[in-house]
Chains A and B, each alone.
Chain A
Amino acid sequence: MSYFLLFFSAAIVNNFVLSYFLGICPFVGVSKKVSSAVSMGLAVTFVMLITAVVTWLIYHLLLVPFELEILEYVSFILVIASLVQLVEMFIRKVSKPLYDTLGIFLPLITTNCAILGLALFSVLRDYSFGESVVFGLGAGAGFTLALVIMAGIREELELAPIPKYFQGAAITMIVAGGLALAFMGFAGMI
């Protein structure tokens, strides 16, 4: 598949959040401000990019030649955990305000299904190095997009009279359902 189609597919048609249910935790818990959503999305995309590169290298240059595929999950998650730790330290040095905004969600990127999911899909579909990188970028872009749209909607919902029991997670899920329905319209475009 051409790189453009791959990117478009990962970002829109088969959006990680709305089609594969990856990255739901931050999606639900994300601050209701669009600006934080953008920061979170960018941080995740950054981690995804590096993850795509490092996990591809580890899998194809280390695990496969030595027939150690059974170590796939253990090695991948260790890579991700270390990367997030490094990114956390990096952001703290480079931009303290950004670090404070993201707060607890930064270390939580480790348990973001989207990152591990990205690495796993890449192996499952046997992507080349280039395809992995583009896939990572597309996945990150899609995640950011979904997050930003959701944050925008939730900003509006602040002013809406939501029934008592639907407040919080319930209404977020229902809105997500609407979003997922909308994104289904992209199917068949490629």
Chain B
Amino acid sequence: MSTSTSLNTEFVKGLWKENPVLASLLGLCPTLAVTNAAMNGLAMGLATTFVLLMSSMMISALRNFIPHQVRIAGYIVIIATFVTVADRFLAAFLPEISATLGPYIPLIVVNCLILGRQEAFSSRNGIGRSLIDSLGMGLGFIFVLVVLGIIREILGSGSIFGFAVMGDWFTPWMVMILPPGAFLTLGLLIALANWYNDPSSLSEIRIKQ
């Protein structure tokens, strides 16, 4: 990892090029499970980002102290601690969201995204850079969750964030809020991202950086 990579690059890469879900296929479990409504996707994204930021901070700070052989065990304890904090926070202050997201919040512990970032980045970089990297990844994750959530909510319930946007003429596509809809939408989204990233498609229209 070149030390001359600008902070901006570290931040931006998580948003699209190395988007945790679309590019690396990490964190699929929560992505599919809680995106039946935009609000749920947003809440899950925020909770995951919180855990990512806090654990990155701590692991980066401790990176020179943790022996290589026990690093995974150490990371796991730290991650699980912050997930517990987030889960309890929701149960104590936002009980409705806690009830809706249910067991998927504790499953943040095994979200490959977090462990992946610690292993690949936070354990080798300073606190500042690690936070920036985590922030980028976290936002990229939130982005996908919210987009997926909006699509499924519009087609499946006729609303966005709880506000009805489709009129009475629209019969909701029930399948969108159910598991098959989740898989289908994500599959199409990934295909769309593949198309967008392919330099040979519509290269005249796309602005080169």
Contact = CB atoms under 8 A, between A and B. Distances in A.
Contact of B33 (A21, A174, A180): A21
Contacts of B120: none
A124 interface: yes
Nearest to B21: A169
Contacts, number: 125
Contacts of A78: 73, 76-77, 80
Interface of A: 18-25, 28-29, 70-74, 77-78, 81, 110-113, 115-117, 120-121, 124, 163-166, 168-174, 176-178, 180-181, 184
B171 to A, nearest CB: 18
Interface of B: 25-26, 28-30, 32-33, 72-73, 76-77, 80-81, 83-84, 87-88, 102-103, 106-107, 109-112, 115, 175, 178-184, 186-188, 190-192, 194-195, 198
> 6 closest Cβ contacts across the A-B interface?
A173-B187, A177-B183, A177-B184, A174-B187, A170-B191, A165-B194
Contacts of A110: 76, 110
Nearest to A115: B110
A73 B83 contact: yes
Contacts of B115: 111
Contact of B88 (A29, A70, A165, A177): A70
A174 B115 CA distance: 27
Interface of B is mostly: helix
A20 to B, nearest CB: 7
Nearest to A27: B28
Nearest to A81: B76
A50 B182 CA distance: 31
Contact of B190 (A116, A169, A178): A169
B73 to A, nearest CB: 6
Given A113-B110, A180-B179, A21 B187 contact: no
B184 A174 contact: yes
Contacts of A115: 110
Given A70-B84, A74-B77, A113-B29, A25 B112 contact: yes
A21 B83 contact: no
